[in-house]
Amino acid sequence: MYFTMTIFVAIAQQSVQATLGSLNRSTPKFGFNTNAHIPPNFPTPGYSGANWTQQWFIDSTAYLYPEVLRFPGGTNANHWDWQTGWYFPAYLPPGGTSLTIRTDEFKPGILGCNGEGLYVVNLETSNVHYEMDGLRHTDSIGLNPKFIELGNEHNLNGGSQFPLQLMTPTNYAQLAKVFYDSIMLEFPTAKVCAVGGNTPAIPHWIDTVLSYIPLIDAISFHVYLNANNADLAFNVNRSLAVPFGPNSNTSSLLYRYNMSGFNTLLPSKEVWVTEFNLLESPSGIPSVISQTWTHVLYNIAMCNFFLTKPNISMILNHSLAGDNHFQSISRQNKKITANALSMKLLYDMSRGSQSCQNMNFSGNPAMIYGTSTIPKLVGWKFNYPGMEKGFICNFSNDTFAISLSTLFGNPMQFDQYYADTVLVVNGISSLNKYSANSSDTIIVYPYSITQINSVISTGTQYCVSGKNELCIYPNPANSNMIIQIEINLNNADIYIYDVSSKEVIRLKKISGNSFSFSIGSLTKGTYFVKIISDNKITTGKFIVD
């Protein structure tokens, strides 16, 4: 659905100049917490499945294009048997049905999105010897356990359902040290993350963990922010005031980050946000914001905060599948939800970029709600070899004419998505979309997300002229490759072949007109690209040097 140009022109516009901010950081990895995908009482009659045995689910995950998938996920990881791919018999929730979701089934999901796994080992109801066998098995089937997490939320009380979850800082740190040493001995290049986050009851959790494991690579941060809609009134600004709140607001993201102790970590110590989302239903509040376009804006506000913290190097949304409130891929109708699109619209711009920089907007347009200052505009520039991408979110009901000439020195192609704030998102087709080209100013409409692509004209490229012009660069290359195509791909399949016609890389469900991917696994030589989109085939070639 599109607005007509006559309506666009009639809207009053505020002119602003965008410039680069002072923050220039390496781009974090984005992805999803998989949470084993399914509640324990599934499958039920008529349920088609939302797990790795279902091809539609694999394809939907590939469409979202995550870099990292967390397996098996959250609290269930504390009771997980890697060999059977389900809970240990001693812990099977009432009405639970034993299923099989091992790393063997997880592998097609990883391959489908050309991503990496974050593997959570079971410290609570297993032991280091058995869990090391699980990591060895993961490695043996071709899934390099590059990222490993030592249990889940052991700094929080699991209640009567999970009585062993809460550990003292010393007990957790001592046990985690045993796991860490064993992992490093066998997987010395892996990055390992410990449970993190001081709590009011345990204010020195992080200090204790670091005293036992000073060389740990990362500390985990889980954060769910209540949308503050207890009276069930739909108020966008009141909701956005939570993630943008000051440190004096104990519900704000800044307060949660500081209270948890992440602001005091050494710059070399990474923070992995391995779970985050808007919070409504779990707190007993009926869903009002959940899965609406405001949910998209809310998650983007949280991601914007994470991007402003250079020590946050991984950002995983909760979750890929699960209950109605959190799920990204609906198990009811197989549609992509608001939660998913908040991530996909950002992933499409960030994945594969080497660094990112924040944008400033002249006049710092903002709104005040209570003690919170809500920026009307936030933006990020993502830098690639031979390409620049941009991401701008408008949190307000205002329309802006944004000059971007100082950020992008080459012509820009942009796609803008927007919707009524109360719209329940039912796939990307349920949104309004406006696409255009510009060499300077773009119009940014209320409550919109804009994706910007700009090709740098310098550098060697391989280009095929024709109806579907294809450019591949840099060429030759040795780490990352960028492909730009004149047409807008829609769930395209991309195949890379060597000179013997052997398929070496496959990318599925790619959308847009530019994307990057890693070629670090390829040996030197010539390779060929085949892109299949809407039954049309485009081909090209490149060289790995």
Given a contact cutoff of 8 angstroms between Cβ atoms, the answer to whether 64 and 138 are in contact is no
- Alpha-carbon distance 20 to 170, whole Å? 44
Reported as a pLDDT band with limits 50, 70 and 90, residue 259 is very high
Both tokens of residue 535? 């039954």
Say which DSSP state 535 is in.
T
Q: Which of 152-166, 239-253, 472-486, 497-511 has the highest mean pLDDT?
A: 239-253
Given a contact cutoff of 8 angstroms between Cβ atoms, the answer to whether 271 and 221 are in contact is yes
Q: Rg (Cα) of the chain, in Å, rounded?
A: 23
CA 139 to chain centre: 24
Q: Is the peptide bond before 474 cis (omega within 30 degrees of 0)?
A: yes
Per-residue model confidence as pLDDT tens digits over 423-457: 999 999 999 999 998 999 999 999 999 999 887 64
CA angle, 236 then 237 then 240, to 5°: 90
With CA atoms as reference, report the closest residue to 252 among 263, 240, 261, 243.
Answer: 243
Per-residue model confidence as pLDDT tens digits over 206-223: 999 999 999 999 999 999
**pLDDT over 50 at 146, yes or no:** yes
Residue 28 confidence (pLDDT): 97
Packed helices 205-212 and 169-186: angle between N→C axes, nearest 10 degrees: 40
What is the average per-residue pLDDT within 33-46? 58
Residue 490 confidence (pLDDT): 78
Residue indicated by tokens 């907007």: 361
What is the average per-residue pLDDT within 175-181? 98
What is the average per-residue pLDDT within 255-271? 93
Kindly list the structural domains of the chain, giving each domain's residue range(s) and its CATH number in brackets, ordered by start.
Answer: 5-22+355-455 (2.60.40.1180), 28-350 (3.20.20.80), 462-544 (2.60.40.3080)
Residue 517 confidence (pLDDT): 78
Per-residue model confidence as pLDDT tens digits over 379-403: 999 998 778 899 999 999 999 999 9
**pLDDT over 90 at 479, yes or no:** no
pTM score: 0.84
Buried b (16+ CB within 10 A) or exposed e, 498-536: beeeeeebebbbbbbebbbbebeebeeeebebebebeee
Residue 49 confidence (pLDDT): 59
487 versus 64: the higher-pLDDT residue is: 64
Reported as a pLDDT band with limits 50, 70 and 90, residue 466 is very low
What is the average per-residue pLDDT within 503-508? 86
- Alpha-carbon distance 470 to 447, whole Å? 33
Residue indicated by tokens 């500081």: 258
Q: Which percentage of the chain shows pLDDT scores above 90?
A: 57
- Alpha-carbon distance 301 to 307, whole Å? 10
Reported as a pLDDT band with limits 50, 70 and 90, residue 11 is low
What is the average per-residue pLDDT within 172-180? 98
DSSP string for residues in 63-86: HH--SEEEES-SGGGGGEETTTTE
- Alpha-carbon distance 530 to 507, whole Å? 10
Both tokens of residue 331? 């198990």
Largest CA distance in the chain: 68
What is the average per-residue pLDDT within 187-194? 97
Burial class of residue 17, CB neighbours in 10 A (0-12, 13-18, 19+)? middle
Cβ neighbours around 45 below 10 Å, total = 4
Residue 470 confidence (pLDDT): 72
Both tokens of residue 12? 């009053």
Lowest mean pLDDT among 97-111, 463-477, 497-511: 463-477
Give the bridge partners for 220, in sequence order.
Answer: 272
Reported as a pLDDT band with limits 50, 70 and 90, residue 527 is confident
Q: What does pLDDT average to over the chain?
A: 87
What is the average per-residue pLDDT within 57-64? 87
